Chains A and B, each alone.
Chain A
Amino acid sequence: MNIIEWIKQPWPWYVAGPIIGLMVPALLIFGNKTFGISSSLRHICAACIPTKVPFFQYDWKKEIWNLFFVFGVFLGGVLTALYFKDSASVVVNENLVHELSGYGITEINGLVPEQLFGWDQVGTLRGIILMIVGGFLVGFGTRYAGGCTSGHAIMGLSNLQLPSLIATISFMAGGFIMANVILPYILKL
């Protein structure tokens, strides 16, 4: 098997996790930067939505590295789609497949279900809740918490910060409540 073929397969957790973990020292050593993604959303606000809100009154250009990083993540997605796309279908837990079929989600493929996140879904109540309300909560919640999975769960925990542990537990608790208690009602819509 050549290297491109190997890259194309889904990577196991013990390959991906350590590479993600190495982002922490890489950013610290190459630029004295702490790993964190959600701040980019704040810099975009500061750069693109001119207002008198004090939270956005700072020199975002000083933090431009973060926007370069995020643009890189986007390009990484483009690069993978062009050269490293896996033709095999995704493997999903049987219980989840069964549960989703109960909501009429039968096409299990790609990284997000087309039947939930397709353009024809943007105008539906279910689509609005999942994409717009969900996106809003991601932006609002991460800034309120002062970081996301990268800034708190990976960077903060790596630095043994108790507030980051509290934040990470809250992320997981919120996710468990949503996925098991609330989401079934949304998916039924």
Chain B
Amino acid sequence: MQQKDNNTDFEVRSLDAMCVNDEQVQTPSWHNIKYLIMGVLFGVVLIKSEVISWYRIQEMFRLQSFHMFGVIGSAVVVGALSVFLIKKLKIKSINGEEIILPTKSFSKGQIYGGLLFGFGWAMTGACPGPLFAQLGYGATTIIVTIVAAIIGTWVYGKFREQLPH
């Protein structure tokens, strides 16, 4: 029984697509600065490419502009090529760890949740990353949207057992 209890955390987390590729090597907490720097770069790119623009999102969903399709498409091509090379050349992380990417399993949530997120994306003009960039850029009301998104996440967690997966 004790063992099962210890495993609960892992069980819950493994059902989620994210947060499974834990770094095993312990690093000092100031090393997190590297993620902050990558985040800053990501934020600047999101804004300067207008990926976080409500107008660009509306154009995308009305097929009025190629811009967003070009951004996402070329990001996937570069990402896929990188993942291919990492696997092919067995590139290790800077801490010397083997990079193993999690495989995702199908759940109906990808359809139901995906559609619901799509609705929210077209309404707010932002997915989670852009929300934080918009707030930083000075669209202060977006704090309301972020709080609503946090509540949405919490409500999902609360009722996930009752939802079809």
Contacts and interface: CB of A to CB of B under 8 A. Distances in A.
A170 B146 contact: no
Given A93-B65, A122-B141, A77 B47 contact: yes
Interface string A78-90: 1111001000001
Nearest to A110: B139
A181 B27 CA distance: 50
A72 B35 contact: yes
Contacts of B4: none
Interface residues of B, number: 127
Contacts of B9: 57-59
Contacts of A29: 86, 91, 93-94, 99
B28 interface: no
Contact of A122 (B71, B114, B144, B151): B144
**For the complex, would chain A's binding face be called helix, strand, loop or mixed by DSSP majority?**
helix
B145 to A, nearest CB: 4
A69 B44 contact: no
Interface in B12-49: 12-13, 16-23, 29, 31-49
B141 A16 contact: no
Contacts of A163: 17, 104-107, 110
B149 to A, nearest CB: 3
Contact of A24 (B18, B83, B149): B83
A74 to B, nearest CB: 4
A134 interface: yes
B152 to A, nearest CB: 3
Given A64-B32, A167-B114, A58 B119 contact: no
Contact of A95 (B21, B62, B97, B99): B62
B134 to A, nearest CB: 6
B23 A145 contact: no
Sort chain A's interface into a size bin: 35 or more
Contact of A150 (B35, B73, B127): B127
Given A21-B75, A72-B39, A148-B117, A96 B45 contact: no
A176 B115 CA distance: 10
Contacts of B152: 41, 135-141, 143
B38 A69 contact: yes
A34 B112 CA distance: 23
Interface string A154-177: 111111111110111111111111
Interface of B: 8-9, 12-13, 16-23, 29, 31-55, 57-62, 64-68, 70-80, 82-83, 85-86, 91, 93-95, 97, 99, 101-107, 109-129, 131-142, 144-158, 160, 163
Given A25-B85, A121-B141, 4 more contacts: A36-B17, A146-B18, A154-B76, A170-B113
30 contacts: A7-B48, A13-B66, A13-B74, A16-B45, A16-B71, A29-B93, A38-B127, A39-B19, A49-B154, A56-B154, A58-B13, A73-B46, A75-B39, A81-B136, A90-B53, A96-B62, A121-B141, A131-B124, A135-B152, A139-B148, A139-B154, A142-B127, A146-B16, A157-B80, A167-B111, A170-B111, A170-B113, A174-B121, A175-B60, A183-B123
